[in-house]
Amino acid sequence: MQTEGASTPTAIEPDTVRQITTVTLAAAAVIVLVSFASLLPGANWLVPGTPVTIGAALTAVATIAVVALLVILAPALERLVRSSLREPSGLTRKAGTTVRITTVLVAVLIAHRGLADAVQPLLGSVSWAYDIVFLILSLPLLVALAVVLYTSLEPTAEACTSKLLGTGQTDQVEDTDVTIESSNEGGERSSEGSEHSNEDNETMAT
């Protein structure tokens, strides 16, 4: 039984799936390459004229690449979620928004972690500003995610309730059918009894 107001999911676009797969594989490849690069001899050497190591610089470059790929991936994931869910349109839209915001928030947190070793040594005594900048970037995303999750509570509860009641209604219909069949059997028996009584009366009258 489908819930009233439920949206029929559109066909999943092959281009969207291809884009998600390509970006995911690219991000995985970057992570693997940087992991190997950080193990190379001399990765702990300082970049000339800076307090930043070569390994930290490579990690920073890889981090920027992964963050860019995640930002590109966020809208594609939203489209995939919205096209694959069979739920009310409002709930489907909120689910897609949740995935998009979460992906961007993860990208910001990865950037904060991956760029720290390359940027903070350059800031010197004001290295605390690094955390402040990323706090300013991530806090609005976290608040937006909290708002979407909060406003999704009631639609999600309604969807779950509708599905549970739908199952209950089916059981009630089956019970009703049994009751009706029992009533019909009782009625047939009553009719048969009436016919026998009429025959007896006619015999006695004769």
Per-residue confidence (pLDDT) for residue 206, from 0 to 100 = 45
Please report, as a single letter, which amino acid is at residue 157. Answer: A
Per-residue confidence (pLDDT) for residue 90, from 0 to 100 = 78
Q: Is the pLDDT of residue 190 over 70?
A: no
Per-residue confidence (pLDDT) for residue 171, from 0 to 100 = 42
Burial category of 197 from C-beta neighbours within 10 Å (exposed 0-12, middle 13-18, buried 19 and up): exposed
Report residue 126 as tokens: 């004001």
Report residue 5 as tokens: 């107001």
State the chain's mean pLDDT as an integer: 79
Q: Is the pLDDT of residue 35 over 60?
A: yes
Q: What is the dihedral of CA 37, 39, 44, 45, to 10 degrees?
A: -60
Residue 46, strand partner residues? 53
CA 201/CA 206 separation, integer angstroms: 9
Q: Which of 42-56, 105-119, 153-167 has the lowest mean pLDDT?
A: 153-167
Contacts for 40 with CB less than 8 Å, ≥ 6 apart? none
- CA-nearest of 94, 76, 85, 96 to 9 is 85
Please state, for a pLDDT cut of 90, what percent of the chain lies above it. Answer: 42
- CA-nearest of 59, 32, 30, 54 to 44 is 54
- CA-nearest of 21, 136, 3 to 69 is 21
Q: Is the pLDDT of residue 1 over 60?
A: no
Neighbours of 106 (CB within 10 A): 16
CA 12/CA 24 separation, integer angstroms: 18
- Average confidence (pLDDT) over 18-30: 91
Please report, as a single letter, which amino acid is at residue 171. Answer: D
What does the angle CA 2 – CA 155 – CA 160 come to, to the nearest 5 degrees?
50
- Note the pLDDT tens digit of each residue in 146-187: 999 999 888 888 888 887 887 544 444 344 444 444 445 555
CA 90/CA 113 separation, integer angstroms: 35
- Note the pLDDT tens digit of each residue in 71-98: 999 999 999 988 887 766 778 888 899 9
Domain ranges of the chain: 14-137
